[in-house]
């Protein structure tokens, strides 16, 4: 398999399509309202509880700028939100490169759009395992799959996409976008990618360390026959 080598990028990328799926909804109201102030033509794509939270924040404005991921992909969420974003169209939207003709052709073929920003933070695994008497099953249920995939994909494609994992970064992102007429610099995208990969690495390490101290008796106790 040959690896595609990119030699041309946009140092400043205009943010037009944003994918948002967050467990930590702090400052979400500030983020979405200010994004739309900067670019009123922006489209937000979201899932489940995040979609409902954004719709409540925006009110009637949501009718023109907010889309359900399930409507975008054509695939409904599975029971309990088990599968929401693990879809070819989502990852094409995240990973596509601006100056790759084949990628652009794939966007047209599938009716997809490029996501310029991905705002994702993960199921609260640490908070779950910190609770007294937490079971292995409760911990297992809070292992995020789609979230780390979206974070890693967007961070890998920092040449075009801003991967946002921490609400503490919202102000800096919005400040740069105001100064750059709705665009985000390569420097900021790269810094966000560095933070994103550390975020998923720490998350996976926490899961591994938790599972490694469990016994098969702890596991069996969750599923009495």
Residue 186: count of CB within 10 angstroms of its CB:
15
Q: Where are the domains of the chain?
A: 12-220
Of 200, 119, 117, nearest to 162 by C-alpha is 117
Bridge partners, 117 (sequence order)? 18, 162
DSSP tag of 180: T
Residue range 203-212: average pLDDT? 94
Class of domain 12-220 as given by CATH: alpha beta
Per-residue pLDDT tens over the stretch 15-38? 999 999 999 999 999 999 999 999
Find residue 45's DSSP bridge partners: 19, 67
Per-residue pLDDT tens digits for 57-113: 999 999 999 999 999 998 767 655 666 677 899 999 999 999 999 999 999 999 999
The pLDDT of residue 141 is 87
């Amino acid at each position: 398999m040959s690896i595609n080598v990119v030699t041309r990028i946009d140092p400043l990328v205009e943010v037009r399509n944003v994918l948002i799926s967050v467990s930590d909804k702090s400052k979400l109201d500030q983020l979405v309202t200010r994004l739309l102030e900067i670019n009123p033509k922006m489209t937000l794509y979201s899932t489940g509880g995040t979609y409902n939270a954004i719709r409540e924040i925006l009110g009637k404005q949501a009718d023109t700028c907010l889309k359900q991921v399930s409507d975008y992909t054509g695939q409904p969420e599975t029971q309990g939100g088990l599968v929401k974003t693990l879809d070819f169209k989502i990852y094409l939207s995240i990973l596509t490169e601006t100056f790759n003709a084949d990628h652009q052709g794939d966007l047209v073929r599938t009716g997809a759009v490029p996501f310029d920003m991905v705002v994702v933070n993960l199921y609260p695994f640490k908070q779950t395992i910190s609770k007294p008497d937490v079971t292995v099953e409760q911990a297992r249920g809070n292992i995020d799959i789609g979230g780390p995939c979206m974070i890693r994909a967007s961070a890998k494609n920092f040449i075009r996409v801003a991967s946002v994992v921490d609400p503490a970064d919202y102000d800096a992102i919005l400040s740069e976008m105001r100064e750059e007429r709705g665009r985000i610099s390569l420097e900021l995208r790269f810094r966000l990618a560095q933070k994103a990969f550390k975020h998923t690495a720490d998350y996976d390490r926490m899961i591994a360390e938790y599972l490694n101290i469990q016994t098969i008796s702890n596991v069996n106790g969750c599923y009495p026959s």
